[in-house]
Structure 1
Amino acid sequence: MDHEQHSPQYARALKQWSASLGVGLQLTKPGIIFGNMASVLGGYFLASTGQSVSGLHLAATVVGTALVIACGCVINNCIDRDIDRRMVRTCHRALAIRAVSIGTAMCYAIVLGLIGFGLLWIATNVVAFAAATAGLVIYAGIYTCLMKRRSHWGTLVGSLSGAMPPVIGYCAVSGRFDFTALLLVAMFCFWQMPHSHAITVMRHEDFRAARLPTLTPLQARRQILLYLMAFLISALALGWAASLNTVYVLLVVLFGGYWFYLAWQQPRAGTTQMWARRIFTVSIFLILILNFAMALNAVIRPLI
């Protein structure tokens, strides 16, 4: 059988298209999107306990939220391109190395946002749509444009946007912003603060090179402990308010308690970054587990 022959022009075009797709994906920060989708599902199934779930409604909620988050990430990349060039962790990003123009990236962000908000508007409800709008405005506007370069308190403001995905999922089903939704905001906001402070300790030199306001490792540890206590209280309060199953409560106590234990340990000289990396790693593991436990509540709640 003869092998299909392609011209050199075809090979170059294919390579160009592959590179374009790679750049487009990188601009959206897929790691962030993946983590937030777990939170959307956790909030969605938390609200759907005792209700039938429509596959199309769930898909529209997840995809719509993912596209809105992607829009915010592309805007963030556009605004932070000068910062990214000065940081080892981000200096390879497409806008930092000028692999794509600002105009093209902003048009891409607009398209992502229009499709994402369109899906949420058509398939969910005005409350979920408003939560997505608030998340984008806080992240791309207040946090990225106004506070990130001025004060370390910008991290707290930015954490509010990080708390919106589970609220979008919850409100897409419930159609209301109630006390449970407020506890979701508190819990995810307080979770994100130790997570973010651990990153600043791990990448302290990077943040200094970018001239971003940061806490000293000692200040960061104090704040991590305070926010961890707030997280545990709000997570347990959510379990009470939403009548979550015993599995959820046990996971909060066991893994949340272990997270607090790690933060409480005083890092020895030369081990601060290792200590921060443990805090960071456990934070990701913990929030994925709790999202799974919230989703599982729709299945096992009647059995416990």
Structure 2
Amino acid sequence: MKQKTLKQIYGSVVVLLLLAVYSGYVVRFLDPSEFCAPITKCVFVLGRPETWLPWIAAMHPSLAFVAGLLGISVGLWRLIRERSLSPIERWGLITGITTLLLQGLQTFWFGNKLRDYSDLTHLSLGLLALTAFTVAGLSVLPSFQVLSDARSSKRKYVRFLGMGLLWVTFLLLISGYAQGLDPYSPACGGWPFCSSGWAFSQWGWHILLHRLLSLLALGGVTGMLIITWRGYSQDIIVLPAATALAILFLGQVGLGGVMVNRGYRQDLVALHAFNIVALWLTLSVLVFRVWVRSPHSERQSIATVSWQTRLKAYFLLNKPVIVALLLVTTYTGMVLAAKGIPDARLTFWTLFGGALAAGGASAINQYIDREADKRMQRTAKRPIPAGIITPAQGLAYGIAACWVAFFMLAIMVNLLTALLALAGMIYYVGIYSLWLKPATPQNIVIGGGAGAIPPLVGWAAVANDLQVPALFLFAIIFLWTPPHFWALALVRRKDYARAGIPMLPVVLGEQTTRRQIFIYTLQLVALTLLMPLLNLTGHLFLLIALVLGGGLIYAAWRVLRMPGNRPAYQMYRMSSMYLALIFLALVVDVLV
């Protein structure tokens, strides 16, 4: 079996099991009566489409069944036909298949009467299966066979610390799930300390144990973070995983406190449950990684610089100029939603979280583009290709900033805002950077949606919904992105060609690019003028949009009619100013 196919199968099994665990959480925490077991109950549940819970209940056993079938199939195939299973892969397959079979037998015998300790056993088996199949899949990846430059002493500490954390986190997860069985109990109702004395209910001891285990895990996670940043600076798996683990854990603690103090709101309960599974999976990857030995290592020479220079390098990873422009669009969304000056506290947390989200995504993007950046004159002095920061450190910082932004927005603003920011980060990193940018000259067109999400974040922060004016803000940035970046691509076309990035001037030529810049500019200006006609803005914005739009069209016309790089570079600079000014015009139009 080809390695690519094997990776896809293992990846599918892990994703299916993740969805199975999450769907089980949703059903159990939101409406336990709808739990779809045995499977025959699903037929009757699906006959009541008035709520989405029955559909999730029906999915839960089906996802686990398909995951188990795929796991059994790949295990038998590799054992009978190839006989090439490594000890780790064999262990993962046997453990994963066994736990899923035990889960199936438990569901068959208990039916829809899974309660209390039997329910905890069901969850425990699901987590073990998830970990086992994850380890089996990772064991076939060459990148996970590469250990970093850590000394043996540090490697030993990280190994045993990671294994201890794995068991503590497992107990933490189970005790937290037990707390969910009686979430409204007066026992230990405050946070972080109990506010109701020691009159524990049936599950009160689980609640107390959960918080004590959280304290123990906090010490372990802190130690892991310190050791890995000191000894694993070049390991692109261990360092980012340990950093993500620390942020996920702190986010979990914060969510737990907010959940208790806000009366166990369903969205917070679900997010708390979902996050612990992400934490568990991250820890499983980290522990597996540090127990693998290999004589090979990916190394990069690091410049010896002062701590001030290194701190500045981390700041530059955020692409601060772009972040500032995105914050202008975010604030505009807030002003339009509030129809005035939004609350100062809400504004601070929204803009702070938005800056971290955009900066973190930019850092991950620079990690992905590190080899291409070395070949481009414009980007060769960025922190990672310049050797000031290792790729692992850049990736770890980016992941940390993204997760901090998500938790900050979810706790201090609202869940919709956090999910929109997360969608923007995934769009930029996954869809644009990993998929579109190296694959098609239309990368900027489709990828422009990532930069268009910040005004939606601003609107959702105030209104906790999305309406038509917010979609117009999204469309403005979506249409602005291609002419802005194509103008830069005209100036730097040799750079992009040398780096192997299929930008439009490199693939279809300069003249086609110039025409497309002019066409998109006309569409952009027309869209801004449409907003006053639909009574979405006032006459002041119409006047400003006419002036700014006329100037931008003239700059695009010069790019179309005049050869050379100078008009294109002027278009690039002017389009940046145009976006900032057109959004500021929207703010002024609302306030005056």
- After TM superposition, the score normalised by the length of structure 2 is 0.46
- Separation in 2 of the partners of 1:217 and 1:242? 39
Aligned to 1:10: none
Answering whether residue 551 of structure 2 is matched by residue 261 of structure 1, we say no
* Cα contact 1:138–1:157 (8 A) shared by 2: no
Within 5 A, what are the aligned runs for 1:175-190? 175-190=464-479
- Separation in 2 of the partners of 1:65 and 1:39? 11
- Separation in 2 of the partners of 1:91 and 1:26? 13
Deviation at 1:248, TM superposition (A): 1.3
Deviations 1:222-277 (A, max 9, x none): 11122112212222233344631222111211111221122123433xx4211111
Aligned to 1:3: none
* Cα contact 2:334–2:342 (8 A) shared by 1: no
- Separation in 1 of the partners of 2:403 and 2:460? 20
* Cα contact 1:43–1:294 (8 A) shared by 2: no
Answering whether residue 353 of structure 2 is matched by residue 64 of structure 1, we say yes
Aligned to 2:312: 22
AA in 2 matched with 1:297: D
1:229 equivalent among 522, 535, 545: 522
Within 5 A, what are the aligned runs for 1:209-228? 209-215=498-504, 216-228=509-521
* Cα contact 1:197–1:220 (8 A) shared by 2: yes
2:322 equivalent among 32, 36, 49: 32
**Per the alignment, in what secondary structure is the counterpart of residue 41 of structure 1?**
helix
Q: Count residues with an aligned counterpart.
A: 283
Structure 1 residues 153 and 103: CA distance shift in structure 2, 3 A: same
- Separation in 2 of the partners of 1:167 and 1:76? 22
AA in 2 matched with 1:280: Y
Aligned to 1:46: 336
- Separation in 2 of the partners of 1:177 and 1:239? 19
- Separation in 1 of the partners of 2:527 and 2:463? 20
- Separation in 2 of the partners of 1:64 and 1:191? 24
Q: Which runs of 5+ in 1 are unaligned?
A: 1-14
Structure 1 residues 242 and 203: CA distance shift in structure 2, 3 A: farther
Judge which range, 240-249 or 17-26, deviates more: 240-249
2:398 equivalent among 100, 104, 109: 109
CA-based RMSD of the aligned residues comes to 1.6
- After TM superposition, the score normalised by the length of structure 1 is 0.88
- Separation in 2 of the partners of 1:109 and 1:263? 35
1:158 equivalent among 426, 435, 447: 447
- Separation in 2 of the partners of 1:238 and 1:112? 35
* Cα contact 2:328–2:580 (8 A) shared by 1: yes
Answering whether residue 442 of structure 2 is matched by residue 147 of structure 1, we say no
Within 5 A, what are the aligned runs for 1:169-208? 169-208=458-497
Answering whether residue 579 of structure 2 is matched by residue 287 of structure 1, we say yes
- Separation in 1 of the partners of 2:417 and 2:528? 22
Moved over 4 A (4+): none
* Cα contact 1:42–1:295 (8 A) shared by 2: yes
- Separation in 1 of the partners of 2:461 and 2:581? 22
Deviations 1:181-240 (A, max 9, x none): 221111111011110110101111111111111222211111112211221222223334
Aligned to 2:536: 243
AA in 2 matched with 1:172: A
- Separation in 1 of the partners of 2:392 and 2:485? 30
Q: Percent identity?
A: 27
Q: Which runs of 5+ in 2 are unaligned?
A: 1-304
Deviation at 1:75, TM superposition (A): 0.2
AA in 2 matched with 1:169: G
Q: Which has the higher contact order (CA 8 A, sep 6+)?
A: 1
